[in-house]
Amino acid sequence: MRTMSSSPLPQLAGRPVVTDGGLETDLIYHHGVDLPDFAAFPLIDDERGRRLLLDYYRAYVDIAVRAGAALQLETPTWRASGDWGERLGYGPDELRRVNRASVALLNGLREEPGLESLLISGCLGPRGDGYVAGEVVDPGEAALYHAAQAEAFADAGADLITVLTLTQTGEAIGVVRAARAVGLPVAVSFTVEADGRLPDGTPLATAISEVDAEGGPDYFMVNCAHPTHLAPGLADDGAWRERIVGLRSNASARSHEELDAATELDEGDPAALAEAQEALRPRLPNLTLVGGCCGTDARHVAAMWGLTSR
């Protein structure tokens, strides 16, 4: 089992770090933005889109300042990879440009008053569906697929790479290889179903151990699941739980299948979500990075940090 990394990332030194919420659902349901394929990265190419993104991110700057915490923001690039970009009319050169521009957009927030520190995380997403495991992913193929985004983030000066909503271990291993090849720290975030297992049925403990056996990331996260879904996945004791440093929970306690079929946003209750997440802390001794995922916004993340929303 790997120990905590010697990386300079504050979350690995035990310092509290705020991260953001459900970017895509916030934009779709609260701002009426059309995001084909759940892709936010095209907003980088539009002046109004850039303003919307900055307004979104500044709400989390405010939370971090009030919490006295560092801040990590994810670039809006969860879908800015080859297959998804091609579907949206973006070729390799355009994707490289937009991935670099996403880092530059966040870099402009570093001078916000009162902010302790800002980490810019280059956000990767799964090659396939974020809720469905699909075919088994070969780690070597995954490394090649994610290399272009990783290189763009490194060239643009991102502080680390985070891959969100992974459904199986092969792609996780590949992403770690791609990040290591460009010299960036990397976080791997799995999603789980209501039984606490990955969508392909792998127990969370097994997934973390398998990826760590192949070199492992700087730390692990879990995202796009309600805390009550994660809870059964944490039932097994072991040092593997120490490797989970970040959580980005869904607002809704519905299953992935139910959320996929939903036509309205289930925002849940921010206070209840915060309470459910806080109940997991005894099982996650190294939890320092906290934010939200689908259905959440600044109200939910503020509640997680014991703050009132504005």
| pLDDT band, very low/low/confident/very high, at 6 (cuts 50, 70, 90) | very low
Provide the token pair at 196: 């606490």
Residue 266 has a pLDDT of: 85
Q: What pLDDT digit, counting tens, does each position of 28-46 carry?
A: 999 999 999 999 999 999 9
Residue 306 has a pLDDT of: 97
Q: Which of 249, 282, 163, 160 is nearest to 211 (CA)?
A: 163
Residue 240 has a pLDDT of: 98
Residue 136 has a pLDDT of: 87
Residue 196 has a pLDDT of: 97
Phi, psi of 176 (to 5 degrees): -60, -45
For residue 155, CA distances in Å to 10, 104, 126, 249 come to: 22, 11, 21, 30
Q: Which of 123, 128, 132 is nearest to 87 (CA)?
A: 128
Provide the token pair at 306: 């014991």
Q: What is the mean pLDDT of residues 147-166?
A: 98
Query: What span, in angstroms and rounded, lies between the C-alpha atoms of 219 and 9?
Result: 10
For residue 185, CA distances in Å to 73, 98, 121 come to: 15, 21, 10
For residue 10, CA distances in Å to 46, 162, 212, 238, 301 come to: 33, 15, 21, 24, 19
**Contact assessment for residue 65 and residue 14, using Cβ atoms and an 8 Å cutoff:** no
Residue 7 has a pLDDT of: 60
77-81, 92-96, 110-114, 139-143, range with the lowest pLDDT: 110-114
Domain ranges of the chain: 15-304
Q: What pLDDT digit, counting tens, does each position of 200-226 carry?
A: 999 999 999 999 999 999 999 999 999
| pLDDT band, very low/low/confident/very high, at 94 (cuts 50, 70, 90) | very high
Q: What is the reported pTM?
A: 0.95
Q: What is the mean pLDDT of residues 187-199?
A: 96
Residue 3 has a pLDDT of: 38
Residue 216 has a pLDDT of: 98
Residue 253 has a pLDDT of: 81
Residue 1 has a pLDDT of: 36
| pLDDT band, very low/low/confident/very high, at 263 (cuts 50, 70, 90) | confident
Mean of all residue pLDDT scores within the chain: 94
- Say whether 121 sits in a helix, a strand or coil: strand
Q: Which of 218, 222, 244, 213 is nearest to 159 (CA)?
A: 218
Query: What span, in angstroms and rounded, lies between the C-alpha atoms of 14 and 8?
Result: 11
Residue 131 has a pLDDT of: 65
CATH number attached to the domain at 15-304: 3.20.20.330
Residue 179 has a pLDDT of: 98
Residue 2 has a pLDDT of: 40
Q: What is the mean pLDDT of residues 216-245?
A: 97
Q: Which of 225, 207, 227 is nearest to 217 (CA)?
A: 207
Query: What span, in angstroms and rounded, lies between the C-alpha atoms of 146 and 182?
Result: 11
Provide the token pair at 159: 């502080």
E-strand spans in the chain?
Answer: 17-19, 70-74, 118-124, 160-166, 186-190, 219-223, 244-249, 289-292
When comparing pLDDT for 174 and 259, which is higher?
174
